[in-house]
């Protein structure tokens, strides 16, 4: 018996769902595999069989959708969780991607010409871009608002003619924003419509990661611990400087597969070590972030035709937060002191912050020492006229990171 997990979704730290499939050797279709984490252990969940689970979307703890897939005709179904039972819901297209913003705004996509939308009552067709004569499919979708959603996939003509596609929903229509050659696009995530990441793969070359800043796409050098063909099959974003990707590396020349885990800290992608797996066929398909210190990834491990589910759990208290970037008041500012708000940029992996303020110089007497879980702090005390210096550092369960550089401001009376 073979098995693997292709999707994972977080409701809460003690409420996580992972889906995939199990199959006998030689079978084309798989059977539904759904597992649940209750904060202590993973357990198998009995559900109707809808084929393999390719994607999961959480609208609410009692409103969860799982997308099934089977190759046989007229066997495309969804599973819906109402808080007590999983029920089988028919879908009239072959879909691989599921995502949305709420229980009344959910997308299921199979290709640019096979798009369905859930409005809270029914699944209805939505026109896509003009259909192409070349085969196309959608791999993933991410919706930020009802008027801003992105979908990625690929087109295929033959082994030498294929490439990636990007579609965008603006609240009125789905349109192509990219249709290129050379590789497939497999995953999409982000924190907003101005911070979008896309992962993909290229044949016989390193994988691709792209970033959209609201104006243009930029290619980003992704993590690649081994030489070989890389596929970034999953992405999850918690903040602009805290993004995770998973996938696999097919090494040269013997073609073994190794699981890949990477992290973006706001400046660069780095490879994150994973537990050593002795088997030669290991991969990660999806990743989900609970918080800055709690990350889950799922996939499969083993040998070809002898695969078993793979679940990795990363806790990151040992990754101390980088020094925060101070934002307000600006360095060397001159202010009329009233209630003063200190503001800084969120630091990856930080669960709380420590603030220090000194009088006259960076070695002068302390005026303020405080802690906060926010990336800002309101100073209510009224200080005398003079020069003040302040700094911040991020902390988590593993300790505190480096202090920021000091910023100064001058307080003067009106």
Domains of the chain, CATH where assigned = 2-315 (2.130.10.10), 326-411 (2.60.40.10)
Interval 362-372 mean pLDDT: 93
23 token code pair: 């199959």
What is the overall mean pLDDT for the chain? 89
Interval 55-84 mean pLDDT: 91
Q: Which residue has the tokens 């780095």?
A: 270
Element (H, E) at 52: strand 52-60
- Percent of the chain past pLDDT 70, that is, above it, reads 89
pLDDT at residue number 92: 92
310 token code pair: 């793979």
Rounded Cα distance between 63 and 55, Å, is 15
Question: Quick one: how far is CA 70 from the chain centroid?
Answer: 26
pLDDT at residue number 146: 98
The maximal CA–CA distance of the chain, rounded, in angstroms, is 82
pTM equals: 0.76
Residue 206, pLDDT > 70, answer no
- Strands (DSSP E) contained in 194-330 are 195-202, 208-212, 217-220, 228-239, 242-251, 257-264, 269-271, 283-291, 294-303, 306-315, 326-328
SS3 state of residue 361: coil
């Amino acid at each position: 018996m073979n098995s693997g997990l292709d999707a994972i979704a977080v409701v809460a730290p003690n409420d996580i769902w992972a889906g995939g499939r199990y199959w006998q050797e030689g079978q084309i279709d798989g059977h539904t595999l759904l597992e649940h984490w209750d904060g202590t252990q993973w357990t198998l969940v009995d559900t109707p069989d809808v084929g393999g689970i390719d994607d999961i979307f959480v609208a609410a703890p009692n409103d969860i959708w799982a997308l099934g897939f089977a190759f046989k005709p007229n066997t495309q179904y969804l599973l819906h969780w109402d808080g007590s039972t999983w029920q089988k819901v028919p879908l009239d297209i072959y879909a691989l991607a599921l995502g949305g913003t709420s229980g009344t705004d959910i997308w299921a996509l199979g290709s640019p010409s096979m798009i369905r939308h859930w409005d809270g009552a029914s699944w209805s067709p939505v026109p896509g871009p003009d259909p192409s004569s070349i085969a196309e499919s959608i791999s993933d979708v991410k919706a930020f608002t009802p008027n801003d959603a992105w979908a990625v996939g690929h087109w295929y003509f033959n082994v030498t003619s294929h490439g990636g596609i990007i579609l965008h929903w603006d609240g009125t229509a789905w349109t192509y924003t990219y249709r290129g050659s050379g590789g497939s696009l497999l995953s999409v995530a982000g924190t907003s419509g101005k911070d979008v990441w896309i992962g993909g793969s290229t044949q016989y070359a390193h994988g691709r990661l792209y970033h959209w800043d609201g104006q243009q796409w930029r290619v980003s050098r992704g993590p690649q611990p081994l030489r070989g063909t890389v596929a970034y099959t999953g992405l999850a974003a918690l903040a602009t400087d805290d993004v995770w990707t998973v996938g696999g590396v097919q090494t040269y020349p013997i073609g073994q597969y190794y699981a890949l885990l990477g992290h973006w800290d706001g400046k660069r992608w780095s490879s994150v070590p994973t537990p050593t797996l002795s088997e030669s066929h290991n991969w990660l398909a999806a990743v989900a972030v609970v918080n800055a210190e709690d990350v889950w990834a799922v996939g499969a491990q083993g040998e070809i035709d002898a695969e078993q589910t793979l679940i990795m759990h990363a806790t990151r208290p040992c990754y101390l937060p980088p020094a925060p970037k101070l934002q307000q008041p600006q360095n060397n500012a001159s202010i009329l002191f009233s209630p003063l708000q200190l503001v800084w940029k969120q630091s990856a992996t930080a669960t709380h912050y420590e603030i220090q303020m000194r009088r006259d110089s960076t070695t002068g007497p302390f005026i303020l020492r405080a802690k906060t879980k926010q990336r800002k702090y309101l100073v209510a005390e009224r200080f005398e006229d003079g020069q003040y210096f302040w700094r911040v550092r991020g902390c988590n369960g593993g300790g505190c990171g480096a202090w920021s550089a000091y910023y100064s401001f001058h307080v003067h009376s009106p």
